[in-house]
Structure formats: C-alpha cells, structure tokens
Amino acid sequence: MTEPAIRAERVTRCFRAGAGIHDVDLTVGEGEIVALVGLNGAGKTTLLRVLLGMLRADAGRVLLRGRVLAGDSPPAAEWARVGQFVDGAPGYPELTVRQNLVSSARLRGVGDPGAIVDSAMRTFALEPYADRRLRVLSLGNRQRVGLAAALQHSPSVVVLDEPGNALDPRGVILLREHLVGLAGAGAGVLVSSHHLDEVARIADRIVVMNGGRVIGELPPGGSELERAFFEAVRLDDESAQDATSEGGGPR
C-alpha cells in the first residue's frame, strides 16, 4: 500500500493561554486535494508549520510520504519533493523573477532549471515580469512568484497556507488548475483557506478546524457549504463552553 503524502498523528503544539493545536489527526492521500478551513486563529497556520517542521510538535508525530522528516537533519532529497508556501511569498527582492525561480529550483536539487522555470512562468502568467526585480512587483504578482517557486519542481507533497489571498481571479484559476494537475500526477495537496467557495471547487475533502482542533469534515459538493461550516463551528463553540462551565476547564 502506498504511504499517504501527509499523516499527522495526535499532533499538539501549545502556546500560552491554551492557544495552539491539540491532538490533531490528519491524512492527505496520494493524488488527493484536502482543504483546511477555519476562522482566524483556528490553528491552520500552526498545523501547517508543524507539518513542515517549521515548528516543533510538543506531542504526536508527522510523516511525509511515510517518513519522519522534521528534525535536526532531514534528508535533503526527501525535502526536495515537498512544495510549501507558508508565511507569505519568500524570495530575494533584488533578484529578478527568473533569477528567483532559478535559485529556488537549484535549492531543491534541480540541476538545469531553465525549462521548468520557463514552464512555471507560463503557468503563472509571469512571463511579462521575467526580468523585473521582485521588489517592484505588485503583491499579487509576488505571490504568484512564491507559488511558482513552491510548485515548479512538481513536488509530491504540497502544503500551501492561504495561497489565494493576494491573487486576482485569474491567478486563483491558474493556481487551481495547477493544483489539480499536480494531484492528477499523484501529489498530495493540503491547502488552507478561509474562502470556502474558492477551495470547495477543487477539494476532495474539506477539513474544518476550530479552537486548535479538527472538528470534522464538510462535503465538498454541498450546496450550503458556508451554512454547514458556520453550524459546525457554532456547535463546537457551544460544546467547548459547556465543558468549561461544567468545570472541565478549557479544552
């Protein structure tokens, strides 16, 4: 049996005053697109950062393609198969778009990046900006560069935090099509978003977080997605309040 692209087992990372994520189980299979949705502060970014080893879990473990990659000396070849976009678009402001994409591909072990960089610039409609410095681009175009850098090497594990945030509708469509293509080629894709409509169109599963926990899933084809989302959150908030008033303390 093939290992899932991502598996989180009872992952906990606590901050002060009970904030953080608690006992999170999550699996993203090969070829699957999973949307992670939740209100501001629900714990989405914290979970993605733990999955990518950017934050250490207090408890539980994370497997990417069946291997524990977070740690002191993660194998570079395994990490080269991961594509991530968390904490906004990285990059060197003084380098051009093309130079940024070339350096990003090289960092991921691509020996001769010319062809994949050209292809990524076509995919994300960045060709007109190829020789512009990153620092002069608009926010949305910088975001396109960040996404191209994360995805151009055809990763088999994809983790994206709010990738549609600064994109215009065309950028969102380009991204969606590209993610569907990557999943079609076998990648496991995890995308966080607070735009239910945008992710619902391509997700195979929609996982809901609230108060640092995974509280359930929504049917991606559901017509009343927003209503179902808010109802799930409301019920969870109410049961958390009941638990507190019965003396159980915060969950």
- Residue 238 CB, nearest approach to ligand ATP (Å): 19
To the nearest 10°, report the CA torsion of 167, 173, 178, 179: 80
- Residue 13 CB, nearest approach to ligand ATP (Å): 9
Question: Quick one: 19 or 125, whose CB is closer to ligand ATP?
Answer: 19
- Residue 101 CB, nearest approach to ligand ATP (Å): 26
By CB under 6 A, the residues from 177 to 236 that bind ligand ATP are 194
Judged by CB under 6 A, the stretch of 3-11, 35-43, 85-93, 95-103 that binds ligand ATP is 35-43
- Residue 84 CB, nearest approach to ligand ATP (Å): 15
11 to 30: interface string for ligand ATP, x by CB under 6 A: ----xx--xx----------
State the pairing for strand pair 59-64/33-37.
unpaired
- Residue 108 CB, nearest approach to ligand ATP (Å): 25
Question: Quick one: 67 or 234, whose CB is closer to ligand ATP?
Answer: 234
DSSP state of 67: B
- Residue 144 DSSP SS3: helix
- Evaluated on CA atoms 198, 203, 206, 210, the torsion sign reads negative
Q: How far is CA 51 from CA 68, 121, 141, 144, in A?
A: 10, 28, 27, 23
Q: Counting contacts by CB under 6 A, is residue 42 touching ligand ATP?
A: yes
Q: How far apart are CA 243 and CA 251, in angstroms?
A: 8
Residues in contact with ligand ATP, counted by CB under 6 A, come to a total of 13
Residue type present at position 243: A
Q: How far apart are CA 134 and CA 131, in angstroms?
A: 9
Q: How far is CA 243 from CA 104, 167, 198, 239, 240, in A?
A: 48, 40, 34, 6, 5
CB contact at 8 A, 178 and 119: no
Query: Quick one: 118 exposed, middle or buried, by C-beta within 10 A (0-12, 13-18, 19+)?
Result: middle
- Residue 40 CB, nearest approach to ligand ATP (Å): 3
Choice from 32, 34, 35, 46 touching ligand ATP (CB under 6 A): 46
- Residue 24 CB, nearest approach to ligand ATP (Å): 11
Question: Quick one: 38 or 220, whose CB is closer to ligand ATP?
Answer: 38
Judged by CB under 6 A, the stretch of 41-49, 113-121, 176-184, 214-222 that binds ligand ATP is 41-49
User: Site residues (CB under 6 A) for ligand ATP?
Assistant: 15-16, 19-20, 38, 40-46, 194
